[in-house]
Amino acid sequence: MFCGQCGTRNPDTNKYCENCGRALIRPRPSGAAPAPTVPFPVPTSPQPPPGYSAPPPPPPVYTPAPAIPFPVATPQQAPPGYYAPPPPPPVYAPVQQSNEPVVGIIWNAHINKMFGLSSMTYTIVITPRRMIMAQLTGSMLTAAGRDAVETAKAQGKGFLETWKDQLAAHFQYSQRYFSMAPEQIIAETPGNRAIENAQISAIKLKGGQGIINIPTSTPEGEFKMIIESSQGVFEYMIPEEKRFTSMLKDVYGDRLHMPFGYIAPISINIKPF
């Protein structure tokens, strides 16, 4: 036998090399069957006990699809020299509230100022709920009179007829409150105010001529109307007309106080101008 490490020849009976001491490996005789191989043990998974049920598998994790960007339309550019037309003006549509109709108006009411040298003109609008004092500003009266004068001149009317048309224009200007909602009337000018009818305790009329000419401090053909309310006391000069006093009586009943001994003249409904 030859040593596989140093190559020294050794007797066949030796188990180790006489030179280097390495273990000698005897060659397998030709034709001999190879030594049987021992299979490597494969581990087996433990078997579940009887009656054991495996838990259900976890639900699949939802992975959202990648978002696709939404195409944004780019605004088209106007051609050079193009100007967009202006928007149409708002259309004013008077709305009359059905639950608060206008019962009537007292036109040409006014408050004297500076010892009667100037005055502020109002139209008193009465509804079943409240009394509204709508101020007629100088610009409003001027516009109404100017329109009446221009119309009269276009029709070839004289001075007297033109003057009558101016007075009638003030009356017609107040009539438009019949087709307006109370909120629109109150918001028309900053000087407008409203008093709830339930807050009015008394309306006192002083002066007037009646059928008995009793000297008073009020101008002929006018009442001083004193309104007593929880908001305060307000005074206005109003025309002495039976239709106005009748309307106040219908709405406020016994809260309207006429002058002592006043007897209203018989009135004939004649359309103004």
Alpha-carbon dihedral angle through residues 211, 214, 218, 219, given to the nearest 10 degrees: 60
Q: Residues 120-143: what's their mean pLDDT?
A: 88
257-266 pLDDT, tens digit per residue, is 998 877 776 5
Q: Most confidently modeled of 21-35, 62-76, 205-219, 222-236?
A: 222-236
Q: Residues 155-160: what's their mean pLDDT?
A: 78
Predicted pLDDT at 82: 66
> Buried b / exposed e across 169-184, counting CB within 10 Å, b at 16+?
bbbbbbeebeebbbee
- Would the pLDDT of 272 be above 50? no
Q: pLDDT band for position 250 (50/70/90)?
A: very high
Residue, of 267 and 35, whose pLDDT is higher: 35
Q: Residues 75-99: what's their mean pLDDT?
A: 62
Asked if 158 and 213 count as a contact pair (C-beta separation under 8 A), the reply is no
Q: pLDDT band for position 192 (50/70/90)?
A: very high
- Would the pLDDT of 66 be above 60? yes
Q: Which amino acid is at 84?
A: A
Q: pLDDT band for position 39 (50/70/90)?
A: low
Q: Residues 16-29: what's their mean pLDDT?
A: 77
Alpha-carbon dihedral angle through residues 209, 213, 216, 221, given to the nearest 10 degrees: 30
> Buried b / exposed e across 216-247, counting CB within 10 Å, b at 16+?
bebeeebbbbebbbeeeebebbbebbeebbeb
Predicted pLDDT at 208: 75
Q: pLDDT band for position 61 (50/70/90)?
A: confident
Alpha-carbon gap, residue 6 to 190, rounded angstroms? 127
- 231, 234, 132: which is closest to 185 by C-alpha? 132
Predicted pLDDT at 28: 66
- Would the pLDDT of 116 be above 90? no
Predicted pLDDT at 87: 67
Q: Most confidently modeled of 22-31, 32-41, 141-150, 189-198?
A: 189-198
Predicted pLDDT at 271: 44
Q: What is the average pLDDT value for the chain, to the nearest integer? A: 78
Predicted pLDDT at 269: 45
Domains within the chain, CATH numbers bracketed: 104-257 (2.30.29.30)
Alpha-carbon gap, residue 192 to 196, rounded angstroms? 14
Residue, of 31 and 54, whose pLDDT is higher: 54
Asked if 3 and 16 count as a contact pair (C-beta separation under 8 A), the reply is no
